[in-house]
Structure 1
Amino acid sequence: MAMGSLANIGSISASLLVLGLVWFYCRRRNYSRKDGTMSVNVNREMVTAPRKFSYKELRLATSNFADEGLLGEGGFGKVYLSFLRDISYNIAVKRVTPNSQQGFKEYESEITTITRLRHRNLVQLIGWCHDNNQFLIVYEFLPNKNLDYHLHREPCLLIWDKRYKIAMGLASALFYLQEECNQCVLHRDIKSSNVLLDLSFNAKLGDFGLARLVDPGQGSQTTQVMLGTEGYIAPECHDTYKAIKESDIYSFGIVALEIATGNKAIAVIERNGQRFKTKLVEWVWELYG
């Protein structure tokens, strides 16, 4: 496919996704008015103010970072299920890989960004730790794992009502980051594996390791060099290596397509003994054509 066609596809897709985002958010506002405010349990109220933890506290909470409590592993750290005994509360602890320079940068970015944010569709920061040359971030624990897990497991049990609810929740989070904060926040890595789910399948956007703050009125200006996750990156980012507000909207659109189709953003298929990558957005565009 010609580069001009890809650029046109990117522009048209971004426009469609902007309209979709506005529609989702408006429906969400109406939905919220009907439902009223959500109740919050006592333990949750006790951890709304982020606090600094000691390494000893978190080592005890994770049983010395035992493999039995491992929830997941990324490029620069591992996440453990933990338990705060003083308030009887489950937490998730991300431990940055020791001596990882990039991991430290993501830790620093995540702490400076997410401490400013408060929204029902963002993963709640409970605290942090940086002593003994250890860097850890403490989050609320979300028992239903992430959207990627539920969409692509066999069999997929996500009924449409849940998918719709998740899409609206993610749209609401993105609208908050771009339009309702004092500073626009570019997440730069929106993907289905970063959309976590609570017991009621409410969506909560997490992992702000690549996030950047942008001054008001400059949300459409380019920022530092960036590459997110293959399959979710807007086409223009491959040329500019920069992120803008519309880049996050494009990534949201890819997640919306995953929700609607059940297919992965990038799938690997075998044909005549060779392996090929197929992009969800190109497949949908061909069907549309």
Structure 2
Amino acid sequence: MKHQTPASAKKQWRPFTANCCSAEDRAVFGNFSRCRTSKSDLSKNVAPLPSFRRLSFSDLSRSSSMRINEDLAQSFGGDLYDFQLSELRAITQNFSSHFLLGEGGFGTVHKGYIDDNMRQGLKAQAVAVKLLDIEGLQGHREWLAEVIFLGQLRHPNLVRLIGYCCEDEERLLVYEFMPRGSLENHLFKRISMCLPWGTRLKVAIGAAKGLAFLHGAEKPVIYRDFKTSNILLDSDFTAKLSDFGLAKMGPEGSKSHVTTRVMGTYGYAAPEYVSTGHLTTKSDVYSFGVVLLELLTGRRAVDKIRPKNEQNLVDWAKPYLASSRKLRCIMDPRLGGQYSVRGAKDMAALALQCVNMQPRDRPRMPTVIDTLEGLQQFKDMAVSCGQWPAAAKPGKSTERRGVYRRSSPVFPAKRGLKLEQKMQL
């Protein structure tokens, strides 16, 4: 694991493997033209996919930036803008630390402002510019994956890619700006206001619709890195999935899974994927279940600061999920009882199904959406039903039979180690 560095410092991209242009990668990117939206309800209000000329990933990985730009321009036409590095420097004030939105293993993300004169047809708006640190081929591979996936996938619950920049060794991506930031920040940062129960439910439904759209394509897309930091929120708390650098095309023909290098984030990756490298859409369903548990408990998927038997959220929470009486003991104390008793019970039951050790017993995402949408009708707040201590207040310390303990800071301002880090498992 990597140690944290100051926000202004530039992190180096560490490749996961030296063999980035595998036969698997060539097959995935070469056959991307087969990925089209389904005609289900989940695809309503989705813009039609552009015609997609076959791109050889191995060729693009070894091509000059000029050749890459030509190939991408021919493939996407006016759907994506090809920005110059000088333009992106200008709109971010040379990637100023004052415009820094966040950073991670991929590099840094800066806020920028586009005016009406920058490109014909491009409206004035705030944008997020991701500047990738590239050391080895893996950084370029993930940049290219994002351009290819988000360049043709359009859905209200996927973040919109506006354009890209490929100039010499620089690789950048330009997205719509998401003013509410990530779900991770709202759940785990001490400075943030407590996310209300209704908003948590709305976020879960939106994220589920994004996954269902990916899984429902004629050739499914496996997201592979579903977690709270990759769920971004707009001004109305509509959830949109971001960061498609690890996404993979699903299995073809009679194949039941895709075999690939094990990559993702500790605590979210499905156990069968970690142990075998076999990737399916049910791997994403497991990760979704972990996020549901985070929404219920206000705890991270992995938290090394907690006692050893509480560090892994799934292992710790499972014994409490099947009983309403036990469930209230692990509900996020910041909610202060302002949550639906029936809704929490049903969400816990759904989470338990999603994190089932057997992939075949996990629900499909359309079923998940139906279940979550049904919870919006419940108004039986725990605090008014006698299911929550009257003295408990959001954000205050609560200790019930030793189930959760606040003697040490749960959400420290700085951590010695970054726990949720994209890395090879």
Q: TM-score, normalised by structure 1?
A: 0.78
Report the counterpart of residue 23 of structure 1 in structure 2.
Answer: none
Which residue among 82, 86, 96 is the counterpart of 2:112? 82
Does 2:125 correspond to 1:58?
A: no
Distance 1:197 1:53 in 2: 25
2:398 alignment partner in structure 1: none
**Take 2:259 and 2:306, find their aligned partners in 1: how far apart are those partners?**
38
Equivalent pair of 1:219/1:244 in contact (CA under 8 Å): no
In structure 2, distance between residues paired with 1:218 and 1:185: 16
Contact 1:268/1:276 (<8 A) preserved: no
CA contact (8 A) 2:309 2:316 kept: no
Residue 259 (structure 1) aligned to one of 288, 295, 305: 295
Q: Which residue of 165, 169, 189 corresponds with 2:206?
A: 169
Does 2:145 correspond to 1:112? no
Counterpart of 2:274 in structure 1: which amino acid? H
The answer on 1:202 being equivalent to 2:232 is no
Amino acid at match of 1:283: W
C-alpha offsets along residues 97-117 of structure 1, whole Å, 9 cap, x if unaligned? 144432111101111111121
Which segments of 5 or more consecutive residues in structure 2 lack a partner in the other structure?
1-40, 46-77, 117-122, 323-425
Please list the CA deviations of residues 33-64 of structure 1 after superposition, one character each: whole Å capped at 9, or x if unmatched.
9xxx8xxxxxxxxxx93211111111111111
Find 1:228's aligned residue among 253, 259, 264: 264
Letter in 1 for 2:171: F
Question: Percent same amino acid among aligned pairs?
Answer: 40
Cα deviation for residue 172 of structure 1 reads 0.6
Note closer, same or farther for the CA distance 1:237–1:167 as it changes in structure 2 (3 Å cut): same
Give per-residue Cα distances to partners, 1:147-188, cap 9 Å, x unaligned.
010011236421111001000001111110001x23211111
Shift of 1:242: 3.3
The answer for unaligned runs of 5 or more in structure 1 is 1-28, 38-47
CA RMSD of aligned residues (A): 2.5
Q: CA deviation at 1:268?
A: 2.0
Structure 1 residue corresponding to 2:311, chosen from 278, 283, 289: 278
Q: 1:90 deviation in Å?
A: 0.4
Q: Quick check: 1:55–1:132 contact (8 Å CA) kept in 2?
A: no
Cα deviation 1:87-138 (Å, max 9, x = unaligned)? 3210001111144432111101111111121100000010111013211011
TM-score by length of 2: 0.54
Which secondary structure state, in structure 2, belongs to the residue aligned with residue 269 of structure 1?
Answer: coil
| Count of aligned residue pairs for this structure pair | 244
